[in-house]
Chain A
Amino acid sequence: MSFRFEEVMLHVRTATRETHYRAVFAPGLNIIEAPNSWGKSTLVQSLVYGLGLEGAFSASHLSPLGEAMSSVIDLSDQREAVVESSVTLTLLNDHGTHLRSRRYARSLAYESSLVQTWAADSLDALSGAEERDFYVREPGAASHELGFHRLLEDFIGLELPTVPGFNGDEVKLYLEVLLPLFYVEQKYGWAGLAPRVPTHYRIRSPYRRAAEYVLGLRNLERLKETDRLRAKLAGLQEEWATTGRDLNAVLVRQGWSLAHPLDEAVASGERGLPEIGILRESQFIDAADEIGRMRSEAQAMLGAPPPTAGVRTAIAQHELRETEVEAGRLAGRLRLHREAAARAAADVDVLRSRQRDLESDRARLVDVRKLERLGSEIGAASLEDAHCPTCAQDLDAQQVATGLVLDVSANLTLLAAEKATLDRMTSSAQRDVAMAEGAADSLAAQLGELRARIRSLKDELSGPSGAPSVAEIERRIVLGERARVGEIELAQAHEHLERMQRAAVSMARVRDRLQLLRSEAESGADAQTVDRLRSRFVAALRRFGLRSLPVGEITIGSESLLPEHDGFELTFDIRHGLSASDAIRTKWAYYVALTRTVNEIDGAKPLGVLIMDEPRQQEAEMTSVRALYQELAAAAAGSQVIVASSAPAHELDDLLSGLPAHRLPGGGTHMFSAD
């Protein structure tokens, strides 16, 4: 699962002539040696251009190649305009397949997005191979059948995963994102400490995803699984909430309530689902029993003609009095429940307000900690002088006899404990609100019925005595209809409950799985791989002679996978006290360690190449550079290493003494001048 360069040919045609430069690479360590302005960087960039990977360094579609390949070329006797130029690469993969690709940088006939290819089992057979054309630097280049990067991915033997992108979508981990981990270009590549991975591919944490992939860390799979589970959990929570609203609507319509509050833990637990019923006189009456009673009563009434109002006068008067008393009593209870709900809602408001205060306090403390990490000593200095950082007054030694105060981290821990308490209380108060409102809604529905009954009884008592009893007829109609609708709605409510139960059980499983993923993250083979990378990195730093910081203080962070000092990532613009030459040594060490580690670890996915353009920066000492070449030679045991250097031949003779290196000396003043 890797590839190497066999050959590169740069071809330029002007109005009067054609010229080309051809370099043949060997497996292992290759040194392109030539003086400044010879075109080493153009040669190295042409490797990237030929692969269509210049997007790794810029989103621009302009050619990254020098002017000799794109506009004008200085030939031996005169300067001429470039009419056509191309880069032809020959690659070899682990299966012994040779792939030749040609991409034009300038041409009247071909767009630079076109890549012509030929594949064969031997170099000789390439010339007779069938041409197949692909496209690159266009949408679909990495995924479509005619995309060159899809071909390249298959040729190298990579299976690039999709990774979390911005906006919660999944994005392919493009080859362009991997390349900066194995290629340091001269112009900007040595400027920072961390690889400059492109950010325009909408990948979240692109460096970390790329490093995880090439190191074969399981974290990437865990991350994807975590994202998938979180999305599933969000869907289930939405289903729970929607179904809960539907259920509540049925309960309110019918004046029913649940025998006990329903939350996710209850629904997924052994206790099972709550019964549905009516709260009457503090007694919980099952809704099905109540419907059955109504139905029986309605049927019994149907058997006899309705009595006249006159016959029922005494009964109706008594019933009216009883109903009015009952309505008054219910109204009182309803008010109490509404008050209880309002009190609980006020509790929720107060608790939320307190949570907001805590959160703003926490945010301030986090900022203070950030300042401390950046080296701020304001707080510490103030305390040392017994000076209060809050009120800016001198502290009375007696009041702070010990001189100890809670540091920022301890304070954050204390706030977290307080927040946990408030979270629980808020949750409990919210349930109280729901219960009180549920009970109030149920009472309100009962009260509505009683008021309707009172109206009917009053109508009956004030009407003609020979007329059929209005209250009785209405009672028959209402009872029958309520029983019918009640049965339908009860069935619906049970369906909602069961749906909520299924959602709750699924949510519990998803949460368990997420917990398991979190615990897996802290153990296993990933940690060993990172340890290997770390030890290779530290050993290389030691060999390169890091001076401005103790070697033991620099490491590779388990989370960032980047060089860190004092828990702080050494990224593009942060050197944390490293001298310029030590920054270069750190960079060498990082690239060498990464390449050697991916070569050594089972399950890692090496690209197969490491390219460094002019690694001797900042006039690094010869002993350090010698150690670098030794490390590169070791890395070249598993990957092809290509280094461009302007060091004089005698210096390279010394540096490479005893090392297996393939040297490509550039003749003349420019790569095209000898032709």
Chain B
Amino acid sequence: MASHEGLPLDGEPRVVSEAPVKVRRVPLPLAGNARFQWRIVTVLEALSVCRGRSATVEQLHTLVWALTDDENALVLKQVWEDPRDPRRPFRGYVPRLLETLRVAHVEVLVEQLANGRQRLTEKGAALLEAVERDGIVIGVGERLLSGLAPISSTEMWRRLGERAQ
């Protein structure tokens, strides 16, 4: 590499290194909660704690949101224990839930009922059991939801605030 002097901005000539510059790609690990497999497992976890292993999409958004991050789980816990003003409902939203559900449907881990509710299948339950057996995903959210099971729609919205229809 040819050496040269930088512009004397402050009266002193700038020293420029002659060392060659190398650029290379350094792969960064994808965060666990951004991985598809993990997202699917959170959906299965959420469904497994619901009454009848089924939930509405709206319920799933909030439950999966709580599983996405420990802080989210703590917020949900706080709201759950201190029921909301029904006019100011609390909701979580997971932007990629729909996509996750579609893949879960294809793999028959989750099925959609005629009324639009989502239900855990036997295959989904077996997969979840295997995951839990290996102790792969145990966090604040999982422990919180396990403690709330079985969660019914009525109870959930009573605590999180249901907007009058």
Contact of A431 with B88 at beta-carbon distance under 8 Å, contacts A265-B163, A414-B98, A414-B101 already known: yes
A414 vs B61: C-alpha distance when bound (angstroms): 13
Which of B58, B102, B107, B114 touches A420 (beta carbons < 8 Å)?
A: B58
Which of B87, B114, B116, B163 touches A414 (beta carbons < 8 Å)?
A: B116
Query: Across the interface, do A427 and B163 meet the contact criterion of CB distance under 8 Å?
Result: yes
Contact of A406 with B112 at beta-carbon distance under 8 Å, contacts A263-B87, A425-B91, A431-B87 already known: yes
Q: Would you call A304 an interface residue if the criterion is a C-beta within 8 Å of the partner chain's C-beta atoms?
A: no
Query: Across the interface, do A417 and B58 meet the contact criterion of CB distance under 8 Å?
Result: yes
Contact of A416 with B116 at beta-carbon distance under 8 Å, contacts A402-B107, A421-B91 already known: yes
Q: Give min CB distance, A497 to chain B, whole Å.
A: 16
Q: Give min CB distance, B68 to chain A, whole Å.
A: 16
**Docked complex: A384-416 residues within 8 A CB-CB of B:** 400-402, 404-406, 410-411, 413-416
Residues from chain B with a CB closer than 8 A to the CB of A354 are 95
Total residues of chain A contacting the partner, CB 8 A: 30
Which of A265, A406, A424 touches B102 (beta carbons < 8 Å)?
A: A406
Query: Across the interface, do A265 and B57 meet the contact criterion of CB distance under 8 Å?
Result: no
Q: Would you call A432 an interface residue if the criterion is a C-beta within 8 Å of the partner chain's C-beta atoms?
A: yes
**Docked complex: B81-112 residues within 8 A CB-CB of A:** 85, 87-89, 91, 93, 95, 97-98, 101-102, 105-108, 112
Query: Across the interface, do B88 and A421 meet the contact criterion of CB distance under 8 Å?
Result: no
Query: Across the interface, do A421 and B58 meet the contact criterion of CB distance under 8 Å?
Result: yes
Main secondary structure of the interface of B (DSSP, over half): loop
Query: Across the interface, do B87 and A421 meet the contact criterion of CB distance under 8 Å?
Result: no
Q: Would you call B164 an interface residue if the criterion is a C-beta within 8 Å of the partner chain's C-beta atoms?
A: yes
Closest to B102 in A: A406
Contact of A402 with B116 at beta-carbon distance under 8 Å, contacts A425-B93, A427-B163, A428-B91 already known: no
A424 vs B105: C-alpha distance when bound (angstroms): 25
Residues from chain B with a CB closer than 8 A to the CB of A318 are none
Q: Would you call A266 an interface residue if the criterion is a C-beta within 8 Å of the partner chain's C-beta atoms?
A: yes
Q: Would you call A418 an interface residue if the criterion is a C-beta within 8 Å of the partner chain's C-beta atoms?
A: yes
Q: Would you call A603 an interface residue if the criterion is a C-beta within 8 Å of the partner chain's C-beta atoms?
A: no
Q: Would you call A321 an interface residue if the criterion is a C-beta within 8 Å of the partner chain's C-beta atoms?
A: no
Q: Give min CB distance, B146 to chain A, whole Å.
A: 24
Query: Across the interface, do A404 and B88 meet the contact criterion of CB distance under 8 Å?
Result: no
Residues from chain A with a CB closer than 8 A to the CB of B106 are 400, 402, 404-406
A607 vs B58: C-alpha distance when bound (angstroms): 54
Q: Would you call B56 an interface residue if the criterion is a C-beta within 8 Å of the partner chain's C-beta atoms?
A: yes
Query: Across the interface, do A406 and B105 meet the contact criterion of CB distance under 8 Å?
Result: yes
Query: Across the interface, do A418 and B163 meet the contact criterion of CB distance under 8 Å?
Result: no
Contact mask for chain A residues 421-437; partner B; CB cutoff 8 A; 1 contact, 0 none: 11011011001100000
A418 vs B98: C-alpha distance when bound (angstroms): 8
Q: Would you call A168 an interface residue if the criterion is a C-beta within 8 Å of the partner chain's C-beta atoms?
A: no
Q: Give min CB distance, A403 to chain B, whole Å.
A: 9
Query: Across the interface, do A261 and B163 meet the contact criterion of CB distance under 8 Å?
Result: no
Q: Would you call A509 an interface residue if the criterion is a C-beta within 8 Å of the partner chain's C-beta atoms?
A: no
Residues from chain B with a CB closer than 8 A to the CB of A416 are 116
A400 vs B105: C-alpha distance when bound (angstroms): 10
Residues from chain A with a CB closer than 8 A to the CB of B61 are 421
Q: Give min CB distance, A321 to chain B, whole Å.
A: 38
Q: Give min CB distance, A272 to chain B, whole Å.
A: 13
Q: Would you call A484 an interface residue if the criterion is a C-beta within 8 Å of the partner chain's C-beta atoms?
A: no
A509 vs B98: C-alpha distance when bound (angstroms): 36
Q: Give min CB distance, A362 to chain B, whole Å.
A: 12
A261 vs B163: C-alpha distance when bound (angstroms): 12
Query: Across the interface, do A414 and B112 meet the contact criterion of CB distance under 8 Å?
Result: yes
Q: Would you call A260 an interface residue if the criterion is a C-beta within 8 Å of the partner chain's C-beta atoms?
A: yes
Q: Give min CB distance, A508 to chain B, whole Å.
A: 10
Q: Give min CB distance, B1 to chain A, whole Å.
A: 44
A425 vs B163: C-alpha distance when bound (angstroms): 10
Q: Would you call A464 an interface residue if the criterion is a C-beta within 8 Å of the partner chain's C-beta atoms?
A: no
Which of B97, B98, B102, B163 touches A428 (beta carbons < 8 Å)?
A: B163
Q: Would you call A292 an interface residue if the criterion is a C-beta within 8 Å of the partner chain's C-beta atoms?
A: no
Contact of A432 with B87 at beta-carbon distance under 8 Å, contacts A354-B95, A404-B108 already known: no
Closest to B56 in A: A417
Residues from chain A with a CB closer than 8 A to the CB of B114 are 413
Query: Across the interface, do A413 and B112 meet the contact criterion of CB distance under 8 Å?
Result: yes
Q: Give min CB distance, A77 to chain B, whole Å.
A: 78
Q: Give min CB distance, A353 to chain B, whole Å.
A: 11
Q: Give min CB distance, B41 to chain A, whole Å.
A: 17
**Docked complex: B59-90 residues within 8 A CB-CB of A:** 61, 85, 87-89
Contact mask for chain A residues 241-276; partner B; CB cutoff 8 A; 1 contact, 0 none: 000000000000000000011010110010000000
A413 vs B101: C-alpha distance when bound (angstroms): 13
Contact mask for chain B residues 144-163; partner A; CB cutoff 8 A; 1 contact, 0 none: 00000000000000000001
Residues from chain A with a CB closer than 8 A to the CB of B101 are 414
Query: Across the interface, do B112 and A424 meet the contact criterion of CB distance under 8 Å?
Result: no
A97 vs B131: C-alpha distance when bound (angstroms): 87
Contact of A401 with B107 at beta-carbon distance under 8 Å, contacts A269-B164, A413-B112, A421-B61 already known: yes
Residues from chain A with a CB closer than 8 A to the CB of B93 are 421-422, 425
A260 vs B88: C-alpha distance when bound (angstroms): 10
Q: Give min CB distance, B94 to chain A, whole Å.
A: 10
A266 vs B86: C-alpha distance when bound (angstroms): 10
A402 vs B124: C-alpha distance when bound (angstroms): 14
Closest to B108 in A: A402
**Docked complex: B112-151 residues within 8 A CB-CB of A:** 112, 114, 116
Residues from chain B with a CB closer than 8 A to the CB of A424 are 58, 89, 91, 163
Q: Give min CB distance, B104 to chain A, whole Å.
A: 10
Closest to B93 in A: A425
Additional A-B contacts beyond A402-B107, A431-B88 (11; CB < 8 A): A269-B164, A402-B108, A406-B105, A413-B114, A417-B58, A418-B97, A424-B58, A424-B89, A428-B88, A428-B163, A431-B87
Offer 17 A-B interface pairs, CB within 8 angstroms, sorted by A. A260-B87, A261-B87, A265-B163, A266-B87, A269-B164, A411-B102, A418-B57, A418-B98, A421-B57, A421-B91, A421-B93, A424-B91, A424-B163, A425-B91, A428-B88, A428-B163, A431-B87
Instruction: List residues of chain B with CB under 8 Å of any chain A CB.
Output: 56-58, 61, 85, 87-89, 91, 93, 95, 97-98, 101-102, 105-108, 112, 114, 116, 163-165
Q: Across chains A and B, which 9 residue pairs bring their CB atoms closest together, nearest first?
A: A265-B164, A417-B57, A421-B58, A417-B116, A413-B116, A406-B105, A425-B91, A402-B108, A428-B89
